[in-house]
Structure formats: C-alpha cells, structure tokens
C-alpha cells in the first residue's frame, strides 16, 4: 500500500470554541525559541495563524528568522525576531525584557530550541554532554523561569485567556525511549519531562499551565539523515506504526491546542505526537 506523507500540511489549524473569543489565540503574545527552522518555525506560524503575535527567537540564522517574521506579518500578526542563546542567562533575561517592552507581555512560551551532538558513549566528550544539557535542559529552565515571573506579575486577564500563562516544552519520544549513541540528548529530554511536571505542580495554583509535546520523527534539519534517502525512510518506518514521517505542522496544531483555552484543564502532561513510535513497534508482528 502506498501511503501519502504530505496530507497533513493541508489540514487547518485548530479553531474550537473556547471561553476567549475566536481566533483562539487572539490578543496573545507567544515566544518560540529556536523558531527560525524546523519544529520551531512550524509552531511559530501555527500560533500566528491562530491569532497570536509571535517572538521568533534564534541563535544563528538571522535571515531565516526574518523570513519567519515576514510570514507572520503575512498572516496579519506581529512578529519580532530576537537573537539569544537560550543557555545564556543574561541573553534570556534581555530577550524577555525586550519582548515585553515591545509587545506588552508574554502569554505563551514554547520552549523549543534544542540540538543533538551524537557520539558513541565512550567517545562522548564533556563538551558534547555539557552543550546538549545547557541548551536542551538549562535553556528550557531559564526561559520557563522568566515566563513564570511575567505570568505571575500580570495574572489572569479573563477576556484574553482563562490562564495567566501557558508553557509548552518541546520534549521528545526520547524522554521515555532510551537512545544508544545519543545519551546526552536522551538525558536532556528525560530531564525536561520531570522539570515540566515539577514546574506544572508548583505554578498550577497561579493558573499557569505547563505541558510538553513529545515529537517522534519529524521532517526537520535535526534528523535529515533519517528521512532523506528512500532506504533511510524505509528503515525509519519500521519504528513508526502509522507509516509516515511527521511534519512540523503536526506539532504546530498540537501546540496551538495546548496553548488555547480548549486545553484549560490540561497541565503537567506530555502529549506524544509520534505516529505510534512509543507503542513498542517491535511488537507489531507478534511477541
């Protein structure tokens, strides 16, 4: 059977009825880290289509970030590109100061920036370990902390959203699936899972919701080797019961829902968006 891998990009972004006025994220400001490419870019565009103004954070790649800002403007929303390395505390604080000064507040943080530095374990350098943990885990901590400070300062505006703020961490199926050759990456995502849940527990009384999306294999630059040739793609499909690769739009729609009031009672949850990768695909044909 020939299966289409592109059908999802045409699906609309979620627009379900909520206690705030449609479009679902109207009047809200989102900050998406690492939004110049891949999943971050897909999420930034989905949030803009749902009515949010969007801060497009990037570390390198200013032109790509500016082109995402141009697409946000084409959707009728305000975009603002801000350069910052999320693992640098001063840069993160400065980014939030500027975003709040220029756009008024932050309602939604999407903690997306992340990287891989793969290596067989015994050859993994301390620099490879530290860099991955610094960006993937410490970076999410620093951005979440600045967001919570702003959410608590501002409080709930019921005409805008039922919640004072929403944080969506971009984790991975590798928060639960061990990954040989990627020990630093899997450790960082396992850390994101319990960091997310612990923050969620702590800030829920302030009407701040904290959740993760945990993507499987999504067609982005981070994993080009896994999908760019037919052989690699066929190999990858052995790990995906749904038999197609994910697209950034799949993640964009889920993040939009988690950020919206339609998900107002959802906090502390990891939403796996993986075509079934976490369903033990080795058991598809028996056990």
Q: Which residue numbers are catalytic? A: 185
Of 3-11, 197-205, 220-228, 278-286, the segment contacting ligand BGC by CB under 6 A is 220-228
Please work out, in degrees rounded to the nearest 5, the angle formed at the alpha carbon of residue 143 by the alpha carbons of 213 and 155: 90
d(CA 154, CA 148): 10
> Which residues 185-214 are close enough to bind ligand BGC by CB under 6 A?
none
218: left (phi over 0), alpha (psi -120 to 50) or beta: beta
Give yes or no for residue 226 binding ligand BGC (CB under 6 A): yes
Token look-up 């829920």 returns 204
DSSP 135: I
d(CA 149, CA 128): 31
One character per residue 109-128, x = contact with ligand BGC (rule: CB under 6 A):
-------x------------
Of 44-52, 87-95, 221-229, 261-269, the segment contacting ligand BGC by CB under 6 A is 221-229
Give yes or no for residue 172 binding ligand BGC (CB under 6 A): yes
Query: Under rule CB under 6 A, how many of the chain's residues touch ligand BGC?
Result: 9
Give yes or no for residue 217 binding ligand BGC (CB under 6 A): yes
Q: Which residue's CB is nearer to ligand BGC, number 106 or number 169?
A: 169
* Length of the chain in terms of residues written: 287
Token look-up 């796996």 returns 272
> Residue numbers of the site for ligand BGC (CB under 6 A)?
116, 172-174, 216-217, 222-223, 226
């Amino acid at each position: 059977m020939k299966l289409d891998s592109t059908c999802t990009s045409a699906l609309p972004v979620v627009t379900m009825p909520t206690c705030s006025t449609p479009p679902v994220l109207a009047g809200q400001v989102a900050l998406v880290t690492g939004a110049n490419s891949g999943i971050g870019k897909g999420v930034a565009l989905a949030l803009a289509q749902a009515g949010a103004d969007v801060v497009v954070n990037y570390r390198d790649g200013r032109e790509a970030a500016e082109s995402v800002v141009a697409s946000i403007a084409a959707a009728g929303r305000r975009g603002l590109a801000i350069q910052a390395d999320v693992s640098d505390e001063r840069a993160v604080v400065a980014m939030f100061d500027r975003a709040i000064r220029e756009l008024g507040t932050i309602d939604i943080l999407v903690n997306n920036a992340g990287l891989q530095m793969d290596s067989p374990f015994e050859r993994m350098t301390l620099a490879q370990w530290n860099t991955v943990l610094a960006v993937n885990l410490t970076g999410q901590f620093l951005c979440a902390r600045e967001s919570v400070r702003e959410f608590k300062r501002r409080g709930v505006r019921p005409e805008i959203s039922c919640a004072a703020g929403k944080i969506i961490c971009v984790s991975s199926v590798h928060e639960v699936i061990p990954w040989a050759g990627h020990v630093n990456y899997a450790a960082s995502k396992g850390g994101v899972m319990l960091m997310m849940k612990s923050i969620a527990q702590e800030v829920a009384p302030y009407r701040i919701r904290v959740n993760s999306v945990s993507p499987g294999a999504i067609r982005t630059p981070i994993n080009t080797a896994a999908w760019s040739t037919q052989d690699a793609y066929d190999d990858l499909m052995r790990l995906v019961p749904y038999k197609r690769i994910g697209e950034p739009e799949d993640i964009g729609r889920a993040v939009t829902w988690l950020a919206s009031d339609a998900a107002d009672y959802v906090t502390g949850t990891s939403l796996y968006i993986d075509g079934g990768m976490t369903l033990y695909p080795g058991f598809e044909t028996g056990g």
